[in-house]
Structure 1
Amino acid sequence: MSSDGSSGSEFDRFRVTFFEECNEILADLEVHLTQLQSEALDVEGLNAVFRAAHSIKAGAGAFGFTRLVTFTHSFEALLDKLRDGVLEQTPQISDILIRGGDNLAELVAAAQEERELPEDFAAATLADIQDILQEGEVATDASPEASVTDAAPDTATGSGSATWQVVVTPGQDLFKNATEPLLLIRELAGLGELSTECNAGNLPSLRRMDPELSYLSWTFTLVSDCTKADIEEVFEFVDDTCLIEITQSSQAANPDAQSPAPDTQPAATPEPATAEPVATPQTVAAAKPTGPGAATSQSKPPQASSIRVDLNRIDRLVNTVGELVITQAMLSEEMAELAEHTGRQHIAGQEQLAALTRELQECVMAIRMQPVKSVFARMPRLVRDLSGKLGKKINLRMAGEHTEVDKTIIEELADPLTHMIRNSIDHGMEMPADRVAAGKSEEGTIDLSAAHVGGNIVISVMDDGAGINRERVLGKAIEKGIVAPDAHLSEHEIDELIFAPGFSTADSVTDISGRGVGMDVVRRNIMGIGGRIQVTSTPGRGTRFNLLIPLTLAVLDGMIVAVGDQRYILPITSIVESFRPEREQLRFLDDRTQVVSIRGEFIRIVKLCDLFNINKAVRDPASGLVVLVEVAGGGKVGITVDELIGQQQIVIKSLNDNFDPVEGISGATILGNGKVALILDIEQLAAMRASNGGRHFAGELGVLPGGAIVAAE
């Protein structure tokens, strides 16, 4: 497929890969540019930003994204001057770099979505880059060192054509990196009059030749008025896989005679011309060893430390391992029953199989796990921009960025967190003068954190602002008809009104936020990945949002419990302890609420037999067991069960595709005996009351081949 849009599956696949790489590069770029808010980038940071821009430019050129190449070329030029120490990092340059990163991301997005941007897009950034580069050139020209450098033949330009000799010795793996030497030769020919000498001395016999390896090298003679930097730029994409030596052999006596006429220039595909000065890496030959064996030692690129795998393939692998775990559990149960009848034990092999199966599953699940840092890294920039626009002083503190969660969940977190941070800045935080008048520091603080709590990851957004104005929230809710005028709501219920669709206390819609505008979307998105959102607020002291997200959508360690003739799964990570309470430890607060006293603390009891209307279950906690579980925010509830069956690694099967949602249930699994057990949702159970109960089943759950869970007729 070519740039004209003709079809081609291979081209489409490479194009998709290019944009996947761009998204990863831009995420890393954002991390480094975020550092500029507080300090200048060090050499390593500058190199990382340069490599990011350089990589995008290389791919963009291959796919014909001219506008992206042109912008990135100028962006590179500024970065190169900073790396070389020609320019000093200043607040002005930092601002240009940050804007440049934004422009680069938008250009990539436009190319991916095949949409046109305005003609003047990024023009202001390009103009600022050009001004900075010109100022740098003036400063360099005025220095004593500059006069010596300008006299050197290598940097002579505009005074006539020179004869350059370029020796290119590729590594044998050149073609494996998708490099086409002919394109490089054509681009070099575009600089002037080119003659080529091919060295085939390393070419093996036909029988020994590997068609995927490179054996040739070239010596080019170029007559041109270009600079050495121009030649280096031709080979900048292959300088890590080739040995390149560039020397100037002579200065032409008659430049006009040696320069080829415009109509005789060889066909070429040069990089789009720009008005900005060309900045490229330092001399390639100087950075590489020379002499016998140098080409071989330098030809091998660094070994890749990671690979890109299609997510669908990982999902298939995860599902297959899940079925393996279920099968292993079934075999374990069958062997246990066999041992009871025969008296023979097969312990050693079974335990080894179980250990290997668990290790395999953990390895496979680790493939899908990624740190939330990729999402958190976007937030400092958001806080900086919005606080500046609103005239507020806000400090963002982050913790737990390396907490890992399933990749599928990571991708769904960016929008909810953005909405919540916007709300905290716009409506939560007071203006500096108002904070001082309230006895606070003029700089507000937003804490963004992630941590593992039970079987979930809890992401918190907490500000020390004014808190939720409950009187105003309730008034707006009554005005919009969301609640009745005579309604009597608790403080928690009033706080929950901000999640009502279309609710907002803002008098006018702004381009920043309105508490409630978008918050219903936040809750819907979080619930879509099996999570929940909680809000607590203290007037005058601030507001805290907690996002409770499942750690993974595929597997968990669970405790199998019995309630009557039913089996349920409790996440092991949520369990604090289990005990059989004494009669004197139990109290009734009212007809519906029973508590148990343990170590001086009263904990509410949740009876599964009442919630799910289970017959033949132990209804008296003193005759059964109470499993103490932890909920988000540090609270606890006691869940009554008849007995504990045992611990098992659980492969989660979703009910959404085959059954109606059930309150208090997060999913299901298949046990070793082939029966289905429901996975309990601790957070929902803690909020339920026996009077509303859970959704009752019309029949038992069954399993179809392949693990699908369905309701029996």
Structure 2
Amino acid sequence: MDPMEEIRQTFFIECEELLENLESGLLAMNEGEADEETVNSVFRAVHSIKGGAGAFALENLVAFAHKFETTLDEVRAGRLEPSAEVMNVFLRSADVLSDLVTAAQEGADTPSEAADGLIGELLALIGAEPEPAGKAEGGDVAFSPMPLALGDADDAPDFAPQPLDLPDLGAAAPAGHAVHFRPHPRLYELGSEPVLLIRALSDLGEVSARAETGAVPRLDAFDWEKTYLSLDLRMEGAPGAEAIEEVFEFVDGECDLKIEDADDPSGGPSGGDPLPPGPPPADESPPPASPPPAEPAPLPPTASQAAPAEPAGQKKPAPGAGARSTVRVDLDRVDRLVNLIGELVISQAAIAQCVENPDAQAGAHSSNALEEFKQLTREIQDSVMAIRTQPVKPLFQRMQRIVREAAAATGKSVRLKTEGETTEVDKTVIERLADPLTHMIRNAVDHGLEGPGKRLEAGKDEEGTVCLNAAHQSGRVVIEISDDGAGINRERVRAIAVDKGLIHENAPLSDAEIDNLLFAPGFSTAKEVSNLSGRGVGMDVVKRAIQALGGRISIASQPGRGTTFSISLPLTLAVLDGMVVTVEGHTVVVPLTAIVETLKPLPEQIHRVGGESPVIAIRDSFIPIVDLGVRFGYRSPVRDLDQHVILLIETEETSRAALIVDRIVDQRQVVIKSLEENYGHVPGVAAATILGNGQIALILDTDDLVARTAPAPAIAAVA
């Protein structure tokens, strides 16, 4: 990869983190936590994005970020109150800034109508007039470089500094600010350029400059690691000392800086103490006659000028080419993995020695070494999985924007509350969960929440609430999306299902079965098509997306109090803790998180309902028995169930069932292989795996098995 392209991709990766910080800070400010540190964090995020964008000549991104940070600076200075109206503009500005970053990453740094409109709103907040069209960000600099004559090398002993012929800074100039600036050597070591700082000052107003050369020594006494020049600058029409200080923010501590009122250069509001003197000249001998002036050195090129021209005939790379999916990893996790690799090398050497030197004790040593090797392999696997896991916070923050847009489209007042943002999930799960979660959030705002008038009539707050929660439960991740709306109108759902031919008119359905009709293909309760809903492409797509992740989704609703959707997902899509069992000579894997207990049933515990359906009596309850051999067509039904092993399992909905198997082989971790991608969907089967002997084993979907065991509702076939 081209080094500059790699740096560019790094910038966009950093933008993701900066945008997350921006969103977090703005949400905190919106909740009334507009303390100094929060405001500064928001300002720094926008300022950093602007600075990086300028390095890659992303002009539209820079222009918008500049106006955004200018308005934020007014809040930081206490001149603008972060009211609800102001925060609404800031939150929408953060959305547009994110869009501009995405567009720039894809190679489409084009003007945005939304950005242009928000720039006007941002300027209106601080009472500024919009700039004339066509004025480029960071326009012409109001100063030019002047020559400094150093003379020929042969004349070095007789050299003495000469004052630069710069504009006069006399008292006749208009009122403004006087800036005294002396860089330290470290400023140059860090790659900073004073001329770029002056360019930034020129955005604030007219700049005049004079270089103070009195501290420059003779050439033979010159120390190349020291700085001798200082600058006296005059700012005309600058907004204030705070704005000038902001320009020098990145070189704070690497220079001497003093800002005074131009009318009172001996002591203004920024302090009256003069700058400390620079290094004294090595020789005070009188200066010789001035040699002819040298040609002025050109200013360093701007980012847009520095970009090399594309060679003729060279194919321009496609937008976004070279972009890679990346993961930010805690260094402690990497260190732990490195240590485990070292232990693995030691274990490998021990096993090799046992193999090369067989003796009477070799068996015991080999067994111990193999156990250590297994343990290390498990720990390495856990460490690698930990590197892949990421908190769901970025995903939850993305939903804030979805809520704002959906609320604006429906004319409702909605607030999103999030909990469990630090819950970690496999990065692939997070990426593939974004679309279904977006659809569910929109449904919650559009269908779940009532309008402001109806909410007030029902005695509720005018502002509706959508809650998004994540937590670890039984080795899985459970994400809940709930609202405090009117709940599911089951009579309407049932009527629509009858009209669409999804159920028979007299079908006896429970409340849970009616709720699950929302997942039927083509089902929609919307009366008319809108930007958010009504096209019949909805919860069935969400359910398929969740199932493709190895997850499940369920509904719980209370009329007048709201609805909750629960999504249960695996922590990772790579490995699974399972119990390996055999059924009629076939090997299958049952997820360990679903197993409550294993037992050998007694004959008196087995009962048959209606003479056919077997159940087992355990602790004053009857649990249906599922014969896996019969379910998968391995054998005919057997009568002596007490001769087999029972696995008591529990689903996410706390339903229980007893699986009949022939034998328990082992408990181990297995690598998950998608069955749908390689073969197709099989009812009751979640995935497949390859065992150590090369045999393929099916991984059971216990929830699906239990659901198919229960009596099915009278649902008509859907074409």
What TM-score comes out, normalization by structure 1 length? Answer: 0.70
What is residue 703 of structure 2 aligned with on the other side?
683
Is residue 589 of structure 1 aligned with residue 605 of structure 2?
Answer: no
Change beyond 3 A, Cα 1:437–1:621: farther
SS of the residue 1:225 aligns to: strand
Is residue 245 of structure 1 aligned with residue 256 of structure 2?
Answer: yes
C-alpha contact 1:50 1:79 (8 A) present in aligned 2: yes
5+ residue gaps in structure 2? 129-168, 218-223, 265-295, 305-325, 713-719
Is residue 628 of structure 1 aligned with residue 648 of structure 2?
Answer: yes
What is residue 166 of structure 1 aligned with on the other side?
182
Report deviation, 1:572. 2.1
What is residue 660 of structure 2 aligned with on the other side?
640
What is the alpha-carbon distance in structure 1 between the residues aligned to residue 711 and residue 80 of structure 2?
71
Is residue 24 of structure 1 aligned with residue 44 of structure 2?
Answer: no
Is residue 221 of structure 1 aligned with residue 231 of structure 2?
Answer: yes
What is the alpha-carbon distance in structure 2 between the residues aligned to residue 339 and residue 27 of structure 1?
61
What is residue 161 of structure 2 aligned with on the other side?
none
Change beyond 3 A, Cα 1:82–1:438: closer
1:118-148 per-residue CA deviation (whole Å, 9 max, x = no partner) reads: 665334433343344349xxxxxxxxxxxxx
C-alpha contact 1:427 1:514 (8 A) present in aligned 2: no
What is the alpha-carbon distance in structure 1 between the residues aligned to residue 685 and residue 556 of structure 2?
24
Which of the numbers 471, 490, 497 marks the counterpart of 2:509?
Answer: 490
Report deviation, 1:397. 4.3
C-alpha contact 2:175 2:262 (8 A) present in aligned 1: no
What is residue 54 of structure 1 aligned with on the other side?
47
Change beyond 3 A, Cα 1:437–1:466: same
Report the AA paired with residue 675 of structure 1: Q
Change beyond 3 A, Cα 1:544–1:670: same
What is residue 184 of structure 1 aligned with on the other side?
196
Change beyond 3 A, Cα 1:77–1:437: closer
What TM-score comes out, normalization by structure 2 length? Answer: 0.70
What is the alpha-carbon distance in structure 2 between the residues aligned to residue 198 and residue 644 of structure 1?
90
1:495-536 per-residue CA deviation (whole Å, 9 max, x = no partner) reads: 344334443222211223349543233223323323232334
C-alpha contact 1:197 1:218 (8 A) present in aligned 2: yes
Is residue 476 of structure 1 aligned with residue 492 of structure 2?
Answer: no
What is residue 529 of structure 2 aligned with on the other side?
509
Report deviation, 1:76. 1.6
What is residue 399 of structure 1 aligned with on the other side?
419
Change beyond 3 A, Cα 1:439–1:91: closer
Change beyond 3 A, Cα 1:70–1:645: same
Change beyond 3 A, Cα 1:359–1:252: same
Is residue 371 of structure 1 aligned with residue 391 of structure 2?
Answer: yes
Which of the numbers 573, 589, 597 marks the counterpart of 1:577?
Answer: 597
What is the alpha-carbon distance in structure 2 between the residues aligned to residue 533 and residue 76 of structure 1?
42
What is the alpha-carbon distance in structure 2 between the residues aligned to residue 470 and residue 189 of structure 1?
65
C-alpha contact 1:184 1:235 (8 A) present in aligned 2: no
Report the AA paired with residue 664 of structure 1: G
What is residue 259 of structure 1 aligned with on the other side?
none
SS of the residue 2:432 aligns to: coil
SS of the residue 2:649 aligns to: strand
Report deviation, 1:427. 1.6
What is the alpha-carbon distance in structure 1 between the residues aligned to residue 37 and residue 587 of structure 2?
56
Report deviation, 1:473. 3.1
C-alpha contact 2:587 2:698 (8 A) present in aligned 1: yes
Report deviation, 1:55. 1.4
Change beyond 3 A, Cα 1:497–1:347: same
C-alpha contact 2:498 2:505 (8 A) present in aligned 1: no
What is residue 554 of structure 1 aligned with on the other side?
574
What is residue 313 of structure 2 aligned with on the other side?
none
Report deviation, 1:409. 0.9
What is the alpha-carbon distance in structure 1 between the residues aligned to residue 262 and residue 564 of structure 2?
71
1:448-471 per-residue CA deviation (whole Å, 9 max, x = no partner) reads: 322333343221223343333344
What is the alpha-carbon distance in structure 2 between the residues aligned to residue 92 and residue 440 of structure 1?
23
What is the alpha-carbon distance in structure 2 between the residues aligned to residue 189 and residue 422 of structure 1?
45
1:553-602 per-residue CA deviation (whole Å, 9 max, x = no partner) reads: 11222222222322222222222111122233333335764322222233
What is the alpha-carbon distance in structure 2 between the residues aligned to residue 197 and residue 424 of structure 1?
69
Report the AA paired with residue 183 of structure 2: V
Report deviation, 1:442. 6.4
What is residue 564 of structure 1 aligned with on the other side?
584
1:651-670 superposed matches below 5 A: 651-670=671-690
Is residue 417 of structure 1 aligned with residue 429 of structure 2?
Answer: no
Report the AA paired with residue 671 of structure 2: V
Which of the numbers 362, 367, 371 marks the counterpart of 1:351?
Answer: 371
C-alpha contact 2:56 2:303 (8 A) present in aligned 1: no
Report the AA paired with residue 495 of structure 1: D
C-alpha contact 1:40 1:89 (8 A) present in aligned 2: no
Is residue 76 of structure 1 aligned with residue 92 of structure 2?
Answer: no
What is the alpha-carbon distance in structure 1 between the residues aligned to residue 258 and residue 432 of structure 2?
54
Is residue 40 of structure 1 aligned with residue 52 of structure 2?
Answer: no
Report deviation, 1:62. 0.7
C-alpha contact 2:626 2:660 (8 A) present in aligned 1: yes
Report the AA paired with residue 33 of structure 2: A
1:242-287 per-residue CA deviation (whole Å, 9 max, x = no partner) reads: 612224699699xxxxxxxxxx996466799xxxxxxxxxxxxxxx
- Find the structure with the greater CA-based Rg: 2
Higher relative contact order (CA 8 A, sep 6+): 1
Question: How many residues are treated as equivalent by the alignment?
Answer: 590
What is the alpha-carbon distance in structure 1 between the residues aligned to residue 664 and residue 519 of structure 2?
38
SS of the residue 1:45 aligns to: helix
- What percent of counterpart residues are identical? 42
C-alpha contact 1:454 1:631 (8 A) present in aligned 2: no
SS of the residue 1:513 aligns to: coil
What is the alpha-carbon distance in structure 1 between the residues aligned to residue 48 and residue 68 of structure 2?
12
What is the alpha-carbon distance in structure 2 between the residues aligned to residue 626 and residue 467 of structure 1?
40
1:689-712 per-residue CA deviation (whole Å, 9 max, x = no partner) reads: 4999xxxxxxxxxxxxxxxxxxxx
1:129-278 superposed matches below 5 A: 129-134=122-127, 158-159=174-175, 164-170=180-186, 174=190, 179=191, 181=193, 184=196, 187=199, 191-193=207-209, 195=211, 219-225=229-235, 232=245, 235-236=248-249, 238-239=250-251, 243-247=254-258, 267=299
The worse-fitting range, judged by mean Cα deviation, of 113-122 and 424-433 is 113-122
Report the AA paired with residue 624 of structure 1: H
SS of the residue 1:122 aligns to: helix
The worse-fitting range, judged by mean Cα deviation, of 585-594 and 43-52 is 585-594
SS of the residue 2:572 aligns to: coil
Change beyond 3 A, Cα 1:224–1:343: closer
C-alpha contact 2:475 2:570 (8 A) present in aligned 1: yes
The worse-fitting range, judged by mean Cα deviation, of 61-70 and 680-689 is 680-689
C-alpha contact 1:172 1:215 (8 A) present in aligned 2: no
The worse-fitting range, judged by mean Cα deviation, of 591-600 and 96-105 is 591-600
C-alpha contact 1:31 1:378 (8 A) present in aligned 2: no
